[in-house]
């Protein structure tokens, strides 16, 4: 299995318990540079693979050649600063590994978000709405507290988000993840809209 481990914003005290467990238990741990290495080294010695700007795909291809077959039998963790699903070299590695071994299981361990860490450190409270973006033409939109889920899904579809995912009670009893969006939903629900 190939496991992407999100290390969060860089504070070792903000590593999740699951991230620490995966780091300790994996057959091999790989990090893409010295910032991630410093955090992982608190728990074990990682293999460091540098991903120079502009050459990430090439490095990911070489690393995939090295580990793809092993991922069938071993747990290989790739730990990155921030989150493994957001602007991460992990996505490049997953793409290359799946080209070689499309049946390899992929797991992603989420981490503490730098956005929420920044809100906490500045004591900024969000009471109504929050936009997190690097561009005003986002490829993915997450709508939290999606109680009027049907209406929200329709609005996202009209904005060009064709792939809609409904998630209710994530990591809680009664968790539901579906392509079907109900008209009304639980307070603990969110909708992901992806442009395709």
- pTM of the prediction? 0.82
Is 118 a domain residue? no
CB 176 within 8 A of CB 166: yes
CATH code for the domain of 48:
3.40.1010.10
158 and 87 in one domain? no
Cα distance between residue 188 and residue 181, in whole Å: 14
Contact 144, 166 (CB under 8 A): no
Query: Containing domain of residue 46, as a range?
Result: 2-113
93/38 same-domain check:
yes
| Domain endpoint, select from 113, 131, 155 | 113
Do the Cβ atoms of 90 and 84 come closer than 8 Å? yes
Q: Are residues 8 and 60 in the same domain?
A: yes
Q: Could you tell me if 46 and 105 lie in one domain? A: yes
24 and 103 in a common domain: yes
Count of domains forming the chain: 2
Q: How far apart are CA 100 and CA 82, in angstroms?
A: 27
Residues 12, 68, single domain; the answer is yes
Per-residue pLDDT of the chain (196 residues; tens, 9 = 90+): 999 999 999 999 999 999 999 999 999 999 998 999 999 999 999 999 998 767 779 999 999 999 999 999 999 999 999 999 988 899 999 999 999 999 999 999 999 998 889 889 889 888 877 777 777 788 889 898 888 999 999 999 999 999 999 999 988 899 999 999 999 998 889 999 998 7
Last residue of a domain, one of 96, 113, 130: 113
* Burial label, 156 (beta-carbon count in 10 A; 0-12, 13-18, 19+): buried
Q: 45 with 83, same domain?
A: yes
At which of 94, 113, 132 does a domain end? Answer: 113
Shared domain check, 79 and 16? yes
Q: Is residue 131 in some structural domain? A: no
Do 89 and 149 fall into the same domain? Answer: no
124 lies in a domain?
A: no
Q: Is residue 10 domain-shared with residue 96, that is, in the same domain?
A: yes
Residues 15, 105 within the same domain? yes
Mark whether 25 and 108 lie in a shared domain: yes
User: Is 180 among the domain residues?
Assistant: yes
């Amino acid at each position: 299995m190939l496991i992407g481990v999100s290390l969060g914003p860089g504070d070792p005290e903000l590593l999740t318990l699951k991230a620490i467990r995966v780091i300790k238990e994996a057959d091999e741990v790989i990090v893409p540079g010295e910032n991630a290495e410093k955090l992982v080294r608190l728990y074990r010695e990682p293999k460091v693979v540098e991903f120079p700007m502009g050459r990430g795909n090439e490095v990911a291809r070489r690393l995939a050649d090295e580990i793809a077959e092993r991922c069938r039998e071993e747990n290989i963790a790739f730990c990155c600063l921030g989150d493994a699903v957001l602007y991460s070299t992990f996505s490049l590695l997953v793409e290359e590994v799946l080209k070689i071994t499309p049946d390899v299981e992929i797991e992603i361990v989420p981490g503490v978000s730098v956005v929420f860490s920044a809100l906490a450190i500045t004591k900024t409270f969000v009471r109504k709405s929050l936009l997190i973006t690097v561009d005003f033409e986002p490829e993915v939109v997450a709508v939290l507290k999606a109680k009027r889920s049907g209406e929200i899904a329709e609005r996202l579809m009209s904005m060009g988000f064709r792939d809609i995912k409904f998630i209710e009670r994530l990591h809680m009893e009664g968790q539901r993840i579906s392509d079907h969006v109900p008209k009304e939903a639980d307070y603990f629900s969110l909708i992901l809209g992806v442009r395709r």
